[in-house]
Every structure is written in C-alpha cells, then in structure tokens.
Amino acid sequence: MAKSITRLTIFISGTSETESEKSGIKTVAADLSKKLENTHGVTIKVKKWPDDFRPAVSEDPVDEIIRQLDGDFDIYLGLLGSRFGEPTSRAESGTEHEFNYAISHYHKDTSSIRIFFYFKKSHENAFEIDPMQLEKVQQFKKKLPSLGVLYKEFNDIEDFLNIVSDDLYDLITNEWQQDKWEVRKVEKSKIEQGSQIEVETNQTDNKEIVTTEQKIRSILTEQEDDDDDDDDDIYLLDILRDLHESKDSILENMDLISEYTKDLGDNVSRQTEEMNIIQSRMATYQHMGGSRESQKLISQLSNIVNTVADEMESYSRKLNPQVSNLPNELNIFLENYSKLYKYQTSIPNLDNEEIEEAFDSLEFFIGKMIETKDSMIRFQKTISEILALTRKFKRSRKRAAASIGQLVAALTIGINKGQVILSDLDQYSS
C-alpha cells in the first residue's frame, strides 16, 4: 500500500541581499524531504518571489503575492540583513507587509502555520550601509518579542543553512500532527492589532486516537515492507562500482565550479580596482568643477560595472548544470557510502582493502567539498560588497547569488553527511 505523503509549503520572505540564503533553502528542503517522507510522511515545497508567482497587475505587488498565496502555506520564513526594503501600501517594506499577513493568519488559527525569522549579521563595509535602512531593521527586530516571535541571527550562508535545516527538522518532527500543526492557545491583553502576546502555551488535551482502520492499514504496510526486504540487500561490488563511477563526475563538477569562480573572482578584483581609481578621479574633478570630465568618467565607470554584470550572467549560466545536477549526485554518492558503512559493520572483523581505500578517499572528497564551498562563500562576499551602481549589475548579482546559494547548500549538506559517516566509522573502529 502506498504511503500517504503530506506536502508542507514554506513561504520565504526577505530582501534581495539575502538571495543566496533564500535559494539555499530550496536545496535544504529537498534534502529534508528525503528523510521526512520515510519517517513522517512529509515532503517540503518552497515558494519565493519571483520564482513561484505568476505575472499580474495590482495596486500593490505584495498584495498580489498574498492574493496568489491565498493562505496556502504552512511555514512563513522571514529573512533580513542590513536593508529593510521599500514601503508598500500597508507597511514599511514588502517583508514587513508579508510578515504582518503571516502573523495575522497565525492569530486566527494557531494550528494553521508556523513562523520563523532570521537576521543576517552585517559584515559589510560601514560606509556602504544605509543607516536609515539599518535602523528600520533594528526597530523591526525589537518589535518581534512583543508579538511573541522568537528570532535567530546568523553570520553567513553556511551558518544559516545549518541552523535552518535543524530548525525545520525539529519543528516538523515535534509539532506536525497528521494534517495540521499542534494547536496552541494564545492569550492577548488587547484585541486590537499590535497588542502584546502575554502567554503562549501548548494545548495537550488532544490525544491521538488510533482507529481500527488505522491499525489494519499499519498491519498491511508492515506486510508490504516485509515483501520489499530484498530491495534493502547490500551488494559490495555494486556499491564500489557506483562509488567509482560517480566520484569522478562529481570531482570534475567541483573543479569546474572552482575554476569558474576563480576566473570571475580575478576579473572582478581587477575591475574593482579600476572602478576605485575612476571614483577617486571623479571626486577630484567634482572639487575642481570639471563637469565634462566627470561625465566621461561616469560613462567609463558605467561600462566597467556593466562588463562585470555580463560576466556574472555568464557565470550563472555556466553554473546552471551544476545547480541542477550536483545536489542529487552528492546525495546518491553519500548514500552509497552509508551502505558501505552498513555492509562493513554487519560483518565482524571484515578486512577489505577496497573498502578501506574507499573510506580514505571519502576524507579527501570532504576536503574537496570544503575547499569548493569556501571559495564560493568568499566570492559571494566579494560581490556583495560592490556597490550596485547600475540596475543591470544588481539583477546579475542577484542571479549569481541564487546559484551560489543553492550550490553552497548542497555542499554544506554533503560535508555534514560525509563527516557523520567518518565519525561513525571512527567510533566503530575504536
């Protein structure tokens, strides 16, 4: 009998400076879905603007996003860095607008959704931060506890992906009950909007009732699982063959990623130096009143910035195959290592040179993943610090950040899985 699967939807809300993190959540969700489908009958879908919303016309774009959502989400996940965003018809920014909708939705029915909010600690150049935007972020952050909302902070994309993966898994395994969230009782001191939430307690009166039909289904499922036991058998030569075939392909992909990232990083560094020189010259001409020379320099600066934008577009296109393939390839590759570990520990005193060589190569493989991931994080930090002097540059940087976010997420998940396998192996060996 096929297992019933429930789809939980995460709605991601945040400014464009968190694009890497937002894109990385999709990879995290896909990885968690593989675990939760088997253990809890749950799979996760991610919705974020603009990827998952159709074009439309409305007086307010955020109102249109909310209209298309129509309450069809189970987790609201908000993200902010040093920018708060631009005002909408109903709030100080689109993120706040969407958050207000989510918190109102929660108050109407506490079993309908859950709310997560994360703040990225700013590592930007202090001179490049908009103080008014940062002040709005700080004010919003201070307001959340009075609304009963707990939030977390993170340093970079790797830190965020590890945090959000743990938080989502913990939330779903502890609070999702068949077809809704655990019911909560919320007491408010005031009815009007903006009132402080004083107490929030879990309602534990509802007990799970197992019907006769559910018991019969459970027995039938166990019988089907027994019939499928042969599918779980582990064959050493098949595993070793699959590992060798996939390893070379993944290493080649990671080498390409590193090559693309280094080439673009070198170009960006050179062109950033040129931009700094031109900006210094512009400041000099402004003091001297040289408007004609300033116009020439502005044109030169614009050309350099748009050249960088073109190179980032090319970078994103080159990464597309890796974004599509690498997460799944890594997952299959590391699942085979898990099978290899299971095979080795199932046979006492097993001494096999090929198995030992395979685990030795896993250590090298993890090192390669760390090297690739770190180079991408450094590059993402580099491009995030460049002022968006043209619209073209801002769009290109956003697309590059999305690709980087998904790949860093896949690599972070792969590193964690690989390190768990090696840790288990060390404990077994000792």
Tell me, yes or no, whether 273 lies in a domain.
no
* CATH label of the domain that carries residue 343: 1.20.58.70
Distance CA 75, CA 40 (A): 17
Tokens of 168: 């989502």
Of 183, 214, 245, the position where a domain reaches its end is 214
Whether 100 and 132 share a structural domain: yes
Asked whether 334 and 418 are in contact (CB, 8 A), the reply is yes
Whether 10 and 41 share a structural domain: yes
pLDDT for 211 equals 47
Whether 357 and 393 share a structural domain: yes
pLDDT for 344 equals 78
Tell me, yes or no, whether 288 lies in a domain.
no
Tell me, yes or no, whether 274 lies in a domain.
no
Structural domain for 132, as ranges: 6-214
Tell me, yes or no, whether 287 lies in a domain.
no
Q: What is the mean pLDDT of each run of 10 residues along the chain (430 residues)?
A: 80 92 92 90 92 88 92 95 91 95 92 95 66 91 93 92 94 88 62 37 39 44 47 68 82 88 89 85 65 81 90 90 83 86 75 77 90 89 82 89 90 90 80
Tell me, yes or no, whether 105 lies in a domain.
yes
pLDDT for 234 equals 58
Over the chain, what HEC string results? Answer: CCCCCEEEEEEEEECHHHHHHHHHHHHHHHHHHHHHHHHHCEEEEEEECCCCCCCCCCCCHHHHHHHHHCCCCCEEEEEECCCCCCCCCCCCCHHHHHHHHHHHHHHHCCCCCEEEEEEECCCCCHHHCCHHHHHHHHHHHHHHHHHCCCCEEECCHHHHHHHHHHHHHHHHHHHEECCEECCEEEEECCCCCCCCEEEEEECCCCCCCCCHHHHHHHHHHHHHHHHCHHHHCCCHHHHHHHHHHHHHHHHHHHHHHHHHHHHHHHHHHHHHHHHHHHHHHHHHHHHHCCHHHHHHHHHHHHHHHHHHHHHHHHHHHHHHHHHHHHHHHHHHHHHHHHHHHHHHHHCCCCCCHHHHHHHHHHHHHHHHHHHHHHHHHHHHHHHHCCCCCCHHHHHHHHHHHHHHHHHHHHHHHHHHHHHHHHHHHHHHHC
Find residue 80's DSSP bridge partners.
119
Report the amino acid identity of residue 344: Q
Tell me, yes or no, whether 298 lies in a domain.
no
pLDDT for 219 equals 41
pLDDT for 63 equals 92
Can you give the pTM of this predicted structure?
Answer: 0.69
* CATH label of the domain that carries residue 97: 3.40.50.10140
Tell me, yes or no, whether 166 lies in a domain.
yes
Tokens of 339: 């099978």
Whether 159 and 79 share a structural domain: yes
Asked whether 82 and 128 are in contact (CB, 8 A), the reply is no
Whether 171 and 261 share a structural domain: no
Whether 249 and 200 share a structural domain: no
Q: How many domains does the chain have?
A: 2
Phi/psi for 79 (5° steps) reads -135, 130
Whether 183 and 245 share a structural domain: no
Tell me, yes or no, whether 286 lies in a domain.
no
Whether 162 and 242 share a structural domain: no
